[in-house]
Amino acid sequence: MGKVKNFFFAVGRWFKNHAPTRRRIIQVYAALLNNANLKGFGEGQIYTGATKNVCTPGLNCYSCPGAVAACPLGALQNSLGSSGTTTPYYILGIIALFGVALGRTICGFLCPFGLTQDLLYKVKSPKLKKSAYTRILSYLKYLLLIVLVIAVPLIYHNVPAFCKYICPAGTFEGSVGLLANSVNTDLYAMLGYLFSWKFALFVCFVVACIFIYRAFCRFICPLGAIYGFFNRIALLGVKLDKSKCIDCGMCISKCKMDIRHVGDHECINCGECISVCPTHAISWKGGKLFVEPVSMGVSASEAPATVKVALSSIISSGTTMPVTGENAAIAEDVSLTNQTESNAGSANGDVVLSEETTRSEILPEKTERIDGSSAPSMQKVRYVRKKSSKILEAVAWSLAGALLIAALVYYNIQPSANAAFGNTVENFSARAYDTAYAEESYTLYENNDKPTVLVFWSSRNDTSIEYISSLKDSYSELTEEANVVAVHVVNSDSAAVVQGIIDSNGLNLCDIPFVQDENSFNAYGNCGGDGAFPMTVVLNVHNEVYSRYFKPLEADEIKSDITKAMDATVYRVGDKLYDFTVDTYESSYKEGSFSTASARGKVLVINFWYVSCGPCIEELPFIEKKQEEFGDRVVTLAIHANNDDVSQAQAFINSENTDRNKASWADWQIIFGQDVGSDMFATRLGYKSYYPITVVVNAEGYITFVRQGKIINQEFDDLTDAIKAALGE
């Protein structure tokens, strides 16, 4: 029986010794909350929803498939690069708010890449201790902040230099996170020297973090440098009561960061120093919310073992420190043993106290500090944990858990009432009522060159009748952007009754189709109808549900969803190209703009590129060669992306950057255009917004070929074959 008891006792002790600290739990929680879009890892796609307009406090790459918010460092570089003469107050204000509230507590508790470094350091290996050299090296991040984060984006507009050339979080979370998914295997063709450089640098950081505590955080991270400026005034963090400090140096010795004193600009507020301070001079800001001090006098003989052993260990180690008065009496007792951990708190600085637990502090009587000043007389302070702190802690953890669950549900379970890229609606061909619409029937899949709006109504529902009537004056405007169809649902009313309602409300003058749903294809049910009217459904060009509403809408609300459905639509081989117009750069093409409609009757080759994309620059001469080979039968449009090098595009086109017997690319037959928005055309035409992308459109305006990645060497013949196929050869 005793053996069984000892076994369970040993198991319990093992779990107790290996249980994660509160700090580690908070770190894992923050990493999961920042990357709550877990389905992004399975889909291999980046979340681009509304919360991506908000910055997370820590370093978490925007391009990570799980990321639900933007990285403040990337947002700062982008805002500085595009600010011109306007100060980017929004992002500067957000970062300042984070800094004033938390300082580098963000680094210690909330940064996902900080957690990654902590876990790497746990790998068993020889460790490089901090020294005067690491302290000097810690100032490198301030230089990187000034040069790469501030100066380069301001001088070379829209060049986020740190993210582009250095940041290992972008390489690990963004690049590796996307490339690891099998759906993104076509991205390998895009990889060039820049990726090789960043991946090699990432490996160096990983190795360094195994041997050096938080190597990236200490020496490289500009975000930590920014938050360090706020450490002194931050509302949350560790604080030092100088009146209690005896300058023993144990806090600095315990800390793995390159601090000079507790709470300085290098301190990440991890709290580990709290448990080793012999006089308990270090505490959390706001700690009085949780504990209540009660003071009383005490003699040197009553000094707790933690102080005695701490001071005796300092003396035995050879550390020079004046020992006078009460300290001398304490230091003489060096025979104490395993009482050193008594009430010292957990390794992460948590105050582990119950209502019955007491915690003692010793302040030496007239003790001379290293700086020559004197400390007040010795006293014992008993800290009793407030009952209210337990309630406050329970409420805080409950709210945090509820927030995480809500985030996971929101980002990973699409609500059926308004689902982006939902189920594909089955094709149907419905009989049309007598209106200005000339056809006798309407077939859904014959009209997929633009989004479709299906308005479901019932002759037995007055609200739905009023709704379709209220849109009467807007139908013509809506049909410019989408196919609009009013669908009467199945009920027992005859066609004559339905036609009468249409006529009496003047809807027979509308040129949109009013059609009749049937049990045989049940369009209402296939679109998610549940008996409520009216129901408005917006479909993208692939007849996939983009949005669904069971209430009347204003015309502007419908137009907004049409635009969103268009922007979110992925155009594939077999789709009809939508017509668009782009502004053009100065080149052999003398017009100021180009419309894809003007190329109808010829094969149109569209290539998406930008100046600093190595694979893009490498393949463009080959595409120009194809243009020369096929001559007037082909029109080639090279669309420069709306990203980091727009201001340099014209200079690049004009420069001597080709060996094709021409002075510059401006002499080519290729038409150089400029994208607008957020890579809108690349996203729509190329399936993904990665570069380079080449699209071939036949004379009738249908997409016949899409290739992501550079088209050279072996793949070059694929483009030749695609152009010939589009020409009908």
- Tokens 């996902």 sit on residue: 112
219 in the same domain as 88: yes
Whether 323 has a pLDDT exceeding 70, the answer reads no
Tell me whether residue 211 is in a domain: yes
15 CB-near residues (< 8 Å, 6+ apart) = none
Helix (H, G, I), strand (E, B) or coil at 539: strand
Closest CA to 473 of 435, 513, 516, 512: 512
Whether 593 has a pLDDT exceeding 80, the answer reads yes
679 — alpha (psi -120 to 50), left (phi > 0) or beta?
left
Range scoring the smallest mean pLDDT among 11-20, 31-40, 288-297: 288-297
Last residue of a domain, one of 369, 391, 413: 391
C-alpha 379/C-alpha 298 separation (Å) is: 5
Closest CA to 169 of 70, 72, 60: 60
557 in the same domain as 678: no
Q: For the residues of 659-720, what is the DSSP string, one character each? A: -SSSSSGGGSSSEEEE--TTTHHHHHHHSSS-S-EEEEE-TTSBEEEEEES---GGGHHHHH
93 in the same domain as 44: yes
Whether 274 has a pLDDT exceeding 60, the answer reads yes
Domain hosting residue 604, numbered range: 581-727
Range scoring the smallest mean pLDDT among 73-82, 174-183, 689-698, 704-713: 704-713
Mean pLDDT, residues 271-287 taken together: 87
62 in the same domain as 187: yes
Tell me whether residue 205 is in a domain: yes
For residue 617, what pLDDT is reported?
A: 86
Q: How many CA atoms lie within 13 A of 107 on its CB side?
A: 30
Tell me whether residue 83 is in a domain: yes
604 in the same domain as 537: no
For residue 408, what pLDDT is reported?
A: 93
**CA-based R_g, the chain, Å:** 34
The pair of structure tokens assigned to 396 is 């805080």
433 in the same domain as 512: yes
What type of residue sits at position 67?
Answer: A
C-alpha 693/C-alpha 709 separation (Å) is: 6
C-alpha 114/C-alpha 256 separation (Å) is: 14
Tell me the sheet residues that pair with 516: 488
Last residue of a domain, one of 193, 228, 263: 228
Angle between helices 22-34 and 387-412 (to 10 degrees): 30
Q: Which helix (H) or strand (E) holds 30?
A: helix 22-34
Say if residues 719 and 711 touch (Cβ distance below 8 Å): yes
For residue 236, what pLDDT is reported?
A: 92
Pairwise pLDDT comparison (399 vs 417), residue with the higher score: 399
Whether 259 has a pLDDT exceeding 80, the answer reads yes
The pair of structure tokens assigned to 487 is 């669908």
Whether 581 has a pLDDT exceeding 50, the answer reads yes
C-alpha 460/C-alpha 497 separation (Å) is: 10
For residue 198, what pLDDT is reported?
A: 93
The pair of structure tokens assigned to 161 is 């230099």
Q: What CATH number does the domain containing 438 carry?
A: 3.40.30.10
Say if residues 138 and 259 touch (Cβ distance below 8 Å): no
Tell me whether residue 336 is in a domain: yes
197 in the same domain as 100: yes
376 in the same domain as 324: yes
Tell me whether residue 509 is in a domain: yes
Whether 355 has a pLDDT exceeding 80, the answer reads no
The pair of structure tokens assigned to 214 is 């938080």
CA distances from 296 to 128, 289, 328, 361 (A): 44, 21, 21, 10
Pairwise pLDDT comparison (685 vs 169), residue with the higher score: 169
For residue 717, what pLDDT is reported?
A: 72
For residue 646, what pLDDT is reported?
A: 66
CA distances from 180 to 35, 368, 616 (A): 16, 61, 23
Tell me whether residue 401 is in a domain: no
The pair of structure tokens assigned to 695 is 């699209």
Closest CA to 460 of 415, 491, 495: 491
Tell me whether residue 417 is in a domain: no
612 in the same domain as 558: no
Tell me the pairing of strands 603-609 and 693-697: antiparallel
Considering its fold, how many domains does the chain have in total?
4
pLDDT 10s digits, 469-523: 999 999 999 998 899 999 999 998 999 999 999 999 999 999 999 999 999 999 9
Q: How many residues does the chain have?
A: 729
Tell me whether residue 108 is in a domain: yes
Last residue of a domain, one of 364, 391, 418: 391
623 in the same domain as 553: no
For residue 525, what pLDDT is reported?
A: 87
Q: Which helix (H) or strand (E) holds 504?
A: helix 495-504
Question: What SS3 string covers 270-297?
Answer: CCHHHHCCCCCCEEECCHHHCEEEEEEC
201 in the same domain as 125: yes
Confidence of residue 724 (pLDDT cuts 50, 70, 90): very high
311 in the same domain as 215: no
What are residue 353's phi and psi, to 5 degrees? -135, 140
